[in-house]
Structure 1
Amino acid sequence: MTQSTSRIFDGIGRIMNEAAGVADGVRREVETVAKSQAQRIVADMELVKREDFDALRELVQVQGEEIDALRQEIATLKAAKPA
């Protein structure tokens, strides 16, 4: 009786280990599919990379400063222009 009970528990343990392996494989497959879908969605959204955004923001800021300087220069020239 003890030996047959031991074999039953061994069989149950083996089945549980196999089920855990299958469940882990399914989990990894679901993660892979979800990650692929997320990457596809982000690619479809045509998002801008952070470094590109920062570079463009810096360029706009510099150009804004240049425009302000040119406006001041024009105002100075108009004020100095003889009537």
Structure 2
Amino acid sequence: MTQTQNRILDELGRLFTNAAGAAQGVRTEVETLIRAQAERLVADMDLVGREEFEAVRAMAQLAREENEALKTRIEALEVAVAAKKAKPAKSSTGGGTDTGI
């Protein structure tokens, strides 16, 4: 009877081993199909690559920095113009040299 049980256990062992191998094969096949479908989906979405993204990001950062520099420069010029306009107004009201004739 021991021999019969061993044969049954051996057969069950082989069955489980074959089932595990088949499950691994199915898993690999499903992963391959999902990966292919994901790649197809990404290609259809017309997404940009990492290098392209980084290049545009660097350009945007440079543009922001240039805008900030120009903004600061414009503010300084506006202050200078306002100061220039304010000086003549003060000097024309303070003196009595205008005869008005």
* Structure 2 length-normalised TM: 0.60
User: Where does residue 42 of structure 1 map in the other structure?
Assistant: 42
Correspondences of 1:5-24 after superposition (within 5 Å): 5-24=5-24
Match of 2:31 in 1: 31
Larger Rg, first or second structure (1 or 2): 2
Distance in 1 (alpha carbons) for counterparts of 2:52 and 2:22: 43
Please tell me the residue identity of whatever aligns with 1:8.
I
- 1:58 positional shift: 2.5
Q: Displacement, 1:22?
A: 0.2
Distance (Å, rounded) in 1 between the aligned partners of 2:18 and 2:61: 61
Instruction: Tell me how large the CA RMSD over aligned residues is.
Output: 2.4
- The code of the aligned residue for 2:44 comes to D
- Residue 55 of structure 1 is matched in structure 2 by 55
Q: Which amino acid aligns with 1:24?
A: Q
Supply the distance in 2 between the matched residues of 1:13 and 1:42 (Cα, whole angstroms): 43
Provide, for residues 14-42 of structure 1, a one-character-per-residue CA deviation record: whole Å limited to 9, x for no partner: 01100000000000000000000001000
Count of residue pairs brought into register by the alignment:
74
In structure 2, distance between residues paired with 1:8 and 1:61: 72
How far apart, CA to CA, are the structure 2 residues paired with 1:26 and 1:46?
31
Which consecutive unaligned segments of at least 5 residues does structure 1 have?
A: none
Consecutive unaligned residues of structure 2, counting only runs of 5 or more, are 82-101
Shift of 1:45: 0.3
